[in-house]
Structure 1
Amino acid sequence: MPTVTVLQGPRSVELKRQLVARITDSFVDTLGVPAETVQVWIQETAPDSWGQGGTLTADR
């Protein structure tokens, strides 16, 4: 059972639906696993709670 974790900033529900569908399709097409076995976990973090390159994302 493949499990994928996506760490990202907040996105709309529609974008998350598309992301989950495309990730699932990729596993089905590449590995031949049944779609119902693919789990996608989306963990969203607010821009003021993470940074990159020494800068808080909210300050970019």
Structure 2
Amino acid sequence: MRQRSSVMPIVTVQQGPRSVELKRELVRQITDALVDAYRIPAETVQVWIQEVPTDSWGAAGTLTADK
């Protein structure tokens, strides 16, 4: 099967706020995983990080900002 180089995987991560250093590492590791799994150039991988403030989500009936 021939692979199309124009197909660009996009990974979306939804999370609470994190430091720039942690986000850099996350993007690097996700990119490396897709390069290894799909045998594609790193330049074709996009990682989108959507940060949600802790007062805008909750778990187990509790607002994350209240934990």
Same fold (TM over 0.5): yes
Gap regions ≥5 residues in structure 1: none
Alignment RMSD: 0.6
What is the CA-CA distance between 1:19 and the residue it aligns to?
0.3
**TM-score, with length taken from structure 2:** 0.86
Gap regions ≥5 residues in structure 2: 1-7
- 2:45 and 2:38 map into 1 onto residues whose CA distance is 11
2:36 counterpart residue number:
29
Q: 2:11 aligns with which of 1, 4, 20?
A: 4
Q: Secondary structure at the match of 2:21?
A: helix
Does 1:48 pair with 2:58? no
Q: 2:27 aligns with which of 14, 20, 27?
A: 20
| Count of residue pairs the alignment pairs up | 60
Bigger helix share: 1
**TM-score, with length taken from structure 1:** 0.95
Identity %: 72
**What is the one-letter code of the residue matched to 1:51?**
G
